[in-house]
Amino acid sequence: MEKICILGMGYIGMPTACMLANNGYEVLGVEVNDKIIDKLNSGELHINEPDLDKIFLKAYKNKKIRISTKVEKSDVYIIAVQTPLNIQKKADLNYVMNAANMIKDFIHKGNLIILESTCPPGTTRDIVGNIIERGTLFKAGIDYFLSFCPERVLPGNIVYELVNNDRIIGGINKESAERAAKIYKSFVKGKIYLTSLEVAEFVKLAENTFRDVNVAFSNELALICEEYKINVWEVIRFANMHPRVNILNPGPGVGGHCIPVDPWFILENIDIKDTLIEKCRNINDSMPLKIVMRTVYILKDYKNPKVTIFGLSYKENVDDTRESPAFIIINELTEKGINVSAYDPMVVNFEYLLSDMEEALRDSDLLLLFVGHHKFKEISLEKIAELMRNKNIFDTRNFYDKSCVEKLGFKYYLI
């Protein structure tokens, strides 16, 4: 049985490890965080994602997956570590480099290395390839095989998309891409397309940048519509009825560890100034402050106002708060002397400000809906009205029905 070593047991590495472990491979997951290792080795997950528990427990009970701090001699190595943005808005490739350095000591002829971490074009060849070749004198494509295979799964639907999405696989040569494709074919039902390393790296960045640019367009439409006093949600709904138009939704900002990060990776090594991509990034980054300004305006006539934020995660129905624009909004409102409390039924690991629902709403002057978790629909508007001091709702996601809310005496503000 082939042995696969996956470095990084996060949102991508962990589900991928489970899939491979349940589809004919012996899997070793490598993780540096001791707490995560202890949890996983006792059969407990550290990630909340639909169906992930089922596939993890299957692999765990069948003893097809082990977690360790150390790399071991394997046939295939998959790097799925994080690539955060540093303060210069460039990719921090330290985790990728550490992973490549760990693999270098174990690699032998005929092995395959796959990079899954999102990174600037050229990283697989120039960073991973160079580290391996400097350490071993092996040549990529001849002595060992080198591939880039970007993950494309949507948080909140990872397990389903891991199986059903198409995959783009880049190789330093054809054999590298083909060998990587064989591994993914063990569990992927979508189509698999082969290409070069750099095209695969760029495709991943282009996908997330496209989404960022599209959201920026809708945010700009929202700001323009506000001046015209036109409902942007209605505009987008009708425009999207055109067969070739698909505008995304405006919102309080773009969060998560992918969409606000990846467009900067595209721009990292280029000389072109004044790009559309950068402008769109800046529009999306400006949204949290726009929300703060509008909130302050809504509350201008109240003494010692209290705001209740519903939702802290970066998007609906997930517990992930990474790069959530809610942080900026909370900090800015607090700095302006506004009393802020927050409720999020999805988020458990967030000590700062988290209140239960009643406590968050009691004597509040404004409910600021930041993300539209399904669970918020279970809270009746009557209950909300009963608890609040003044009945105002600022809905940044078009989540509530205006007429229902207004019937109960709320003043309803929409992005």
x/- string (CB under 6 A) for ligand SAJ, residues 285-304? --------------------
* β-pair partners for 140: 144
Among 89, 90, 152, 389, which residue interacts with ligand SAJ (rule: CB under 6 A)?
152
Tokens 């350095």, located at residue = 101
Residue 292, SS3? helix
Identify which of residues 107 and 371 has a Cβ nearer to ligand SAJ in the complex: 371
249 near ligand SAJ, rule: CB under 6 A: yes
Query: Which residues are within 8 A (CB) of 82 and not within 5 positions of it... i.e. 6 or more apart?
Result: 8, 10, 95, 117, 257
Count the residues of the shown chain that bind ligand SAJ, applying the rule CB under 6 A.
20
For residues 149 and 116, the answer to whether their CB atoms sit within 8 Å is: yes
Smallest separation, CB 209 to ligand SAJ (Å): 9
State in Å, rounded, how far the first CA of the chain is from the last one. 55
Output DSSP code: residue 91. B
Q: Does 162 bind ligand SAJ (CB under 6 A)?
A: no
3-state secondary structure 346-400: CCCCCCCCECCHHHHHCCCCEEEECCCCHHHHHCCHHHHHHHCCCCEEEECCCCC
Residues in region 95-134 near ligand SAJ by CB under 6 A = 118
Q: What is the smallest separation between the CB atom of 330 and ligand SAJ, expressed in angstroms?
A: 15
Least distance in Å: CB of 143 to ligand SAJ? 31
Cβ distance to ligand SAJ smaller for residue 29 or 251: 251
Burial 77-109 (b: 16+ CB within 10 A, else e): bbbbbbbebeeeeebebebbbebbebbbeebee
DSSP code for 325: T
Say if CB 100 and CB 128 are below 8 A apart. Answer: yes
Task: Give the nearer residue to ligand SAJ in terms of CB position, either 29 or 150.
Answer: 150
128 vs 158, which CB is nearer to ligand SAJ? 158
181 binds ligand SAJ (CB under 6 A): no
Determine the Cα–Cα distance for residues 23 and 162; give it in Å rounded to an integer.
Answer: 13
Whole-angstrom Cα distance, residue 55 to residue 64? 11
- 159 near ligand SAJ, rule: CB under 6 A: no
Respond yes or no: is residue 404 known to be catalytic: no
If we measure between CA atoms, which residue out of 145, 201, 152 comes closest to residue 174? 145
Of 135 and 156, CB closest to ligand SAJ: 156
Interface stretch with ligand SAJ, choices 42-50, 243-251, 270-278, 347-355 (CB under 6 A): 243-251
Which of residues 65, 119, 259, 266 is near ligand SAJ by CB under 6 A?
A: 259
- 368: contact with ligand SAJ by CB under 6 A: no
Q: Is 204 a catalytic residue?
A: yes
Measure the CA angle with vertex 31, ends 26 and 33; round to 5°: 150
Candidates 137-145, 190-198, 208-216, 378-386: pick the segment binding ligand SAJ (CB under 6 A): 208-216
Which H or E run contains 167? strand 167-171
Verify binding: residue 314, ligand SAJ, rule CB under 6 A. Answer: yes
Beta carbon of residue 262, minimum distance to ligand SAJ (angstroms, whole number) = 6
Q: Find the shortest distance in angstroms from Cβ 150 to ligand SAJ.
A: 8
User: Minimum Å distance from CB 346 to ligand SAJ?
Assistant: 13
Which of 114, 200, 222, 258 contacts ligand SAJ by CB under 6 A?
258
Which is the catalytic residue, given 5, 119, 225, 258? Answer: 258
Query: CB 284: neighbour CB atoms within 10 A?
Result: 25
Q: Which stretch binds ligand SAJ (CB under 6 A): 16-24, 94-102, 145-153, 190-198?
A: 145-153
Stretch that binds ligand SAJ, among 83-91, 146-154, 290-298, 375-383 (CB under 6 A): 146-154
Classify 392 in phi/psi space as left (phi over 0), alpha (psi -120 to 50) or beta: beta
Which residue among 204, 290, 315, 391 is the active-site one?
204
> Does 255 help bind ligand SAJ (rule: CB under 6 A)?
yes
Calpha distance 92→81 (Å, rounded):
11
CB nearer ligand SAJ, residue 155 or residue 305: 155
Backbone angles phi, psi at 384, to 5 degrees: -60, -45
Element housing 289 (H / E): helix 276-298
CB of 179 to ligand SAJ, least distance (A): 23
Does residue number 93 form part of the binding site for ligand SAJ (CB under 6 A)?
no
The residues assigned a catalytic role are: 204, 258
**Using CB under 6 A as the criterion, which residues of the chain lie in contact with ligand SAJ when the complex forms?**
118, 151-155, 207-208, 211, 215, 248-249, 251, 254-256, 258-259, 314-315
